[in-house]
Amino acid sequence: MSNRTVVPFGPQHPVLPEPIHLDLVLEDELVVEAIPSIGFIHRGLEKLVEKKDFIEFVYVAERICGICSFIHGQTYCQGIEELMKIQVPDRALFLRTIWGEMSRIHSHTLWLGLMADAFGFESLFMHSWRIRERLLDIIEETTGGRVIFGSCKIGGVRRDINSEVLQRIQGELNQMEKEMKEIANVFIKDKSVKNRLVGIGVLSRSEALMLGAVGPMLRASGVSQDMRKLGYAAYKNVEFEPITSEDGDSYARCVVRIKEVFQSFDIIRQCIQKIPAGPVDIKVTGNPSGEFFSRTEQPRGEVVYYLKANGTKNLERMRVRTPTFSNIPSIVKVIPGSQLADIPVLLLTIDPCISCTER
């Protein structure tokens, strides 16, 4: 047996500004064990629910994460709406879906750029973020924010998008889709990309299920599960099928995300065609009561908000289970057997977001 060495990896990642630490046990260059360590940025946001009333807390929920900020707010709002039996206007549901899918494109193109940067493909990184930048301009135009949208509220949304702007957005998205195809071709076909991703960190279908993997991590292992199929917001009105791959390796996770970007373009297109006229919010009165698990599909996977209310303005409990929290065990299981040089790229394939994981 070779000598065993423990290499501390992180909490600084070469390309990812997220603090996760791994103790990697090596035999020569081969990793034989990985012990994860998080907890550097726990902010106690769940505890804040005792001080902020249930309407104010939307602002806190949106700030749990900077990338899926909108979907955090949406998941919280739809949980409260469920407890209060609020019927949100259809137009608001379509707008939530449009902004939610924009968040997905934004998150996936950000991840693609980081991934390209991680394996040293700088031009691909720049092109991925160029597209993302154009999408951020659309988000800024329609919500007023580039990171925190601030457009979701209990009972609907704060802003409408008029039909002229929607048509223009449609045209811009069509153009972005064409450019995205060129980048996607490089990610899918380029030999140097394949060399770094194919066969790295294979997670089988049964492992993915039993380790609680979610999102692209789960679907890349052949499990067709996507919380959007629950039919929340306007997803019951659009046609789409979860994107899956059978290989379960890093390349499969990359391909799933690329295909999901195109799927998001398509869902936004369908929403723009089908969005009904009408109000975008309704007046909310009273306080919530009861308990509910609100589940949605973030770019990184299923997010769960547990809300427990007792009829007062402050919730009794608000708990968030983020997708990264659920994906950490899977990555810890697939790391053994990998080369040390592959770890930064492999860790990136779960698209970790530690700030929202620790809340």
Partner 1 sequence: MIEDQKMLDINLTDLNTLIQTCFDELYRLVQIGCTKTGEGYEVNYSFDKNYKFVNYKIKLKSNEEEIPSITGIYWNAFLYENELHDLFGLKIKGINVDFQGKLYKLAQPFPFSCGPEIKIVEKKEEKKNEQ
If one asks whether residue 331 binds partner 1 (CB under 8 A), the answer comes out as no
- Minimum CB–partner distance for residue 358 and partner 1 (Å): 7
Q: How far is CA 190 from CA 129, 183, 204, 217, in A?
A: 19, 10, 25, 22
Segment 263-292, which members bind partner 1 (CB under 8 A)?
A: 291-292
Half-sphere CA count of 355, side-chain side, radius 13 A: 13
If one asks whether residue 6 binds partner 1 (CB under 8 A), the answer comes out as no
Residue 302 to residue 295: CA distance in whole angstroms:
7
Report the relative pairing of strands 317-321 and 301-310 from DSSP bridges: antiparallel
If one asks whether residue 234 binds partner 1 (CB under 8 A), the answer comes out as no
| C-beta closer to partner 1: residue 271 or 354 | 354
Coil, strand or helix at 321? strand
- Minimum CB–partner distance for residue 313 and partner 1 (Å): 18
Tokens representing 71?
């979907």
Q: In which order are the strands placed within the sheet that holds 317-321? A: 289-298, 301-310, 317-321
Task: Rule CB under 8 A: choose which of 229, 262, 340, 344 binds partner 1.
Answer: 229
Q: Is the peptide bond before 11 cis (omega within 30 degrees of 0)?
A: yes
If one asks whether residue 209 binds partner 1 (CB under 8 A), the answer comes out as yes
Q: What are phi and psi of 155, to 5 degrees?
A: 100, 0
If one asks whether residue 159 binds partner 1 (CB under 8 A), the answer comes out as no
- Minimum CB–partner distance for residue 297 and partner 1 (Å): 11
Size of the site for partner 1 (CB under 8 A): 40
Segment 81-110, which members bind partner 1 (CB under 8 A)?
A: 82
Name the strand (E) or helix (H) holding 349: none
Chain residues in the site for partner 1 (CB under 8 A) = 35, 37-40, 42, 44, 47, 78, 82, 209-212, 225, 227, 229-232, 291-295, 302, 304, 306, 308, 316-317, 319, 321, 325-326, 328-330, 333, 358
